[in-house]
Amino acid sequence: MMSLAARSGAFSPYLQATSYAVAGPLKALIPAVVVKGDKVLVDTKKPFLTRESLNGQSPKSGPAVSVSINAKAGVRFAHTDVKVPDFSDYRRPELLDPNKSSQESSESRKAFSYLVTGATAVVGVYTAKTVAAQFVSSMSASADVLAMSKIEVKLSEIPEGKNMTFKWRGKPLFIRHRSAKEIAAEEAVEMAEFRDPQHDKDRVTNPKWIIVIGVCTHLGYVPIANAGDYGGYYCPCHGSHYDASGRIRKGPAPLNLEVPYYEFPDEDTVVVG
């Protein structure tokens, strides 16, 4: 490298200019440069003010330059050439000026952010609840199964005084079109006469139509319509007499005929169940 019998010794570290591929673990860091984009900023402010600090600074021979993997590291300063993008398009207008204090706008910014966050959270919770409920309720009975539980009857097909029987939920369903005379008669009966006292008004929505389940409350047989001593139903198995309102009047049955839930969507139709 340099002359055979003389080399620049340990006192002149400035003759080896070095550059580095990978930072090494054991060698000391030497003052490096900062790379900013295409410019390289150099800090040469190290002062040499005294005779002692100048001592040994003069080189004694020509330099040799070294580059090494695993040598003194200066390279870690060089990554400041990463360009930070300009985010002005995404900033709030009151924050665009880097020299202005952001304190004045802080309250309104916070209020807005918290409000939006709170509202979103509430909406989110409700959405989550709805979604979860929908998933859980998908395990309940399906529409066709539910449909089988209702029956829709056209009332105009039932003439006055006639009782019609329908199969509903596996049980017979009696729908009777009562005449005004029958209605008045049923409403006039004293409560004391009944084993299971119930006024007619409590058993019908529209007095013209009595809708009961045709299962005898004694042992579950099916009574016959338009039979018996009271102008209603008669169960032939054990002799239970029901009136035109389906209430027990005579016989072993303890309770009145069960009235199911029904509603009249219009004049002409009833949906039972």
Partner 1 sequence: LKVSTGCHSYQEFVTKLPSGLVIASLENYSPASRIGVFVKAGCRYESLENQGVTHLLRLAANLTTKGASAFRICRGVEAVGGSLGVTSSRENMMYSVDCLRDHIDTVMEYLINVTTAPEFRPWEVSDLTPRVRVDKALAAQNPQVGVIEALHEAAYKNALSNSLFCPDYMVGHVNADHMHNFIENNFTSARMALVGLGVDHRVLKQVGEQFLNIRSGVGATGSKAQYRGGEVREHNGSSLVHSAVVSEGAAVGTDEAMAFSVLQHILGAGPHIKRGSNSTSKLTQGIAKATADPFDASAFNANYSDSGLFGIYTISQSAAAGDVINAAIGQVKAAAGGVSEADLTCAKTQLKAEYLMSLESSEGLLDAMGSQALAGGTYHTPEAVLQKIDSVSATSVANAAKKFVLGKKSMASSGNLIKTPFVDEI
Interaction site with partner 1 (CB under 8 A) = 1-7, 9, 11-12, 14-19, 21-22, 24, 31-33, 35, 40, 42-44, 48-71, 74-75, 78, 81
DSSP tag of 206: S
Question: Which of 16, 28, 14, 23 is CA-nearest to residue 79?
Answer: 23
Distance (Å, whole) CA 270 – CA 198: 23
CB of 30 to partner 1, least distance (A): 8
Closest approach of partner 1 to the CB of residue 83, in Å: 14
For residues 173 and 191, give the distance between their C-alpha atoms in angstroms, rounded to a whole number.
26
Least distance CB 117 / partner 1 (angstroms): 44
**Bridge partners, residue 266, by sequence:** 269
CB of residue 2 vs partner 1: minimum separation in angstroms?
Answer: 7
> Measured from the CB atom, is 23 or 185 closer to partner 1?
23
CB 35 within 8 A of CB 78: yes
* Spatial separation of the C-alpha atoms in residues 147 and 80, rounded to whole Å: 72
What is the greatest pairwise CA distance in the chain? 144
Catalytic residue chosen out of the listed positions 79, 177, 218, 238? 238
What does the alpha-carbon distance between residue 241 and residue 218 come to, in Å, rounded to a whole number? Answer: 11
Contacts of 236 (CB under 8 A, 6+ apart): 221, 223, 224
Amino acid present at 165: T
| DSSP secondary structure letters along 3-50 | -TT----TT-GGG--EEEEEE-SSSPP----EEETTEEE--------S
Q: Which is nearer to partner 1, 49 or 191 (CB)?
A: 49
238 is catalytic: yes
N residues, the chain: 273
Sign of the CA dihedral with 176 first, then 182, 186, and 187 last? positive
Kindly tell me which of 42 and 96 has the beta carbon lying closer to partner 1: 42
66 vs 226 by CB, closer to partner 1: 66
Q: In the bound complex, what is the minimum distance in angstroms from residue 28's beta carbon to partner 1?
A: 15
Catalytically annotated residues: 238
